Amino acid sequence: MKIKNHRFPEYWYQKSADVGRRIESPKLIVMHYTAGASVESCRDYMLLSPTEKQRRIGARKKIYSSAHLLVGRDGTAFQIVPFNIKARHAGVSSWKGLRSLNQCSIGIEIANYGWLDQQADGCYSRSGETPIFQTDEVYIGKMPGSVEIKGWQCYPEVQLLQVESLTSSLLAYYPSIIDIVGHQDISPGRKFDPGPAFPMARFKRLMEKNRSRADEEEDTELFPLYQTTERLNIRGGPGVGFDKLKASPLEKNTQLMELSQLGDWSLVRLVKNEKEEGWVFNLYLSPLR
């Protein structure tokens, strides 16, 4: 999935009225659960301004609550805050020397009821409008930071696959991201999401894969990038006396990596096809970095 202008263009988008200032370089991805079933109702609530939220539930103060992405149980995804804008999802929080993490993190809300109490009939639920779950619909595990055992609504695989895909795209687009955490990690004792039913280790492995890929690509970053300013032949050697290669002529704005230089000629590799290498007259190259 591609990110453009700090958004996923293929997904539903409407900007929340509950946002902060710009995020220059996100450092974390924070996973949350919604504590409810309907991702649409959570989305619509988070679109409201802090004052509108306050009025809706009759609170004494303004309520700040928004996230960048929301993912339903069927994998449906919504975006309500661009990734370069601060959302209000983390609250009082800290992680490895970073504080007030709204200002440096991307929040993903995942539709899930969260923790559940075992009922007299052996099923699981919670006070209020929480439905009743059978034992095969819950994961049994400890409350984060406690020995207390609870039931936790399971995350369906289709939902996890969508969150995984979104996360992978974010990691690729924002190399500044250094970790993937849960709300329970950055606000211990205050928050319990996404809970033990969420396979956090699976997402930590995405982080490790991304780091390995970055290490492999590190060497290529040492080479300058150019693009052609007009149609240009690519040859088997540094001069017009050498044969044109099959890729000739290169179209205008073709991106090239310069491997070496000899006089007015550059040995280049095509960015879109790394198997294609040859020599071009560098008068018709414009630097990209």
Q: How confident is the model at residue 221 (pLDDT cuts 50, 70, 90)?
A: low
pLDDT average, residue stretch 1-14 = 95
Q: Is the pLDDT of residue 248 over 60?
A: yes
Q: Kindly give, in sequence order, each residue whose CB lies less than 8 Å from that of residue 142, ignoring residues fewer than 6 positions away.
A: 148, 149, 150, 196
Q: Kindly list the strands in the beta sheet with 225-228, ordered across the sheet, starting from the edge strand earlier in the chain.
A: 277-281, 265-270, 255-262, 225-228, 285-287
Question: Which residue is catalytic, options 10, 24, 109, 137?
Answer: 109
Q: Is the pLDDT of residue 220 over 60?
A: no
Give dist(CA 100, CA 94) in Å, integer: 6
Three-state DSSP state, 12:
strand
Cis bond before residue 194 (omega within 30° of 0): yes
Question: Residues 159-216: pLDDT tens digits?
Answer: 999 999 999 999 999 999 999 999 999 999 999 999 999 999 999 999 888 776 655 5
Give dist(CA 38, CA 70) in Å, integer: 10
Q: Kindly give, in sequence order, each residue whose CB lies less than 8 Å from that of residue 82, ignoring residues fewer than 6 positions away.
A: 5, 6, 7, 15, 68
Domains in the chain, CATH or no CATH each: 12-112+155-217 (3.40.80.10), 222-287 (2.30.30.40)
Hey, what are 72's tokens? 């339903």
Question: Residues 141-163: pLDDT tens digits?
Answer: 999 999 999 999 999 999 999 99
pLDDT at residue 210, as a whole number: 77
Q: Is the pLDDT of residue 43 over 90?
A: yes
Q: Is the pLDDT of residue 97 over 70?
A: yes
**Pure H helices in the chain:** 39-47, 50-57, 157-173, 183-186, 200-217
Task: Check: CB of residue 20 under 8 Å from CB of residue 86.
Answer: yes
Task: Check: CB of residue 76 under 8 Å from CB of residue 59.
Answer: no
pLDDT at residue 18, as a whole number: 98
Question: Residues 48-66: pLDDT tens digits?
Answer: 999 999 999 999 999 999 9
- Span between the terminal Cα atoms of the chain, in Å: 25
pLDDT at residue 134, as a whole number: 96
pLDDT at residue 216, as a whole number: 53
pLDDT average, residue stretch 224-251 = 91
Q: How confident is the model at residue 125 (pLDDT cuts 50, 70, 90)?
A: very high
Three-state DSSP state, 22:
strand
pLDDT at residue 258, as a whole number: 86
Residue 232 has what DSSP assignment?
B
Q: Kindly give, in sequence order, each residue whose CB lies less than 8 Å from that of residue 170, ignoring residues fewer than 6 positions away.
A: 3, 26, 29, 83, 106, 177
pLDDT average, residue stretch 248-262 = 89
Sign of CA dihedral 55, 94, 34, 210: positive
Q: DSSP for 255-288?
A: EEEEEEEETTEEEEEESS-TT-EEEEEGGGEEE-
Give dist(CA 46, CA 43) in Å, integer: 5
Q: Is the pLDDT of residue 219 over 90?
A: no
Cis bond before residue 249 (omega within 30° of 0): yes
User: Is 221 labeled as catalytic in the residue annotation?
Assistant: no
State the DSSP H helix or E strand holding residue 105, giving kind and residue range, or none if neither: strand 105-110
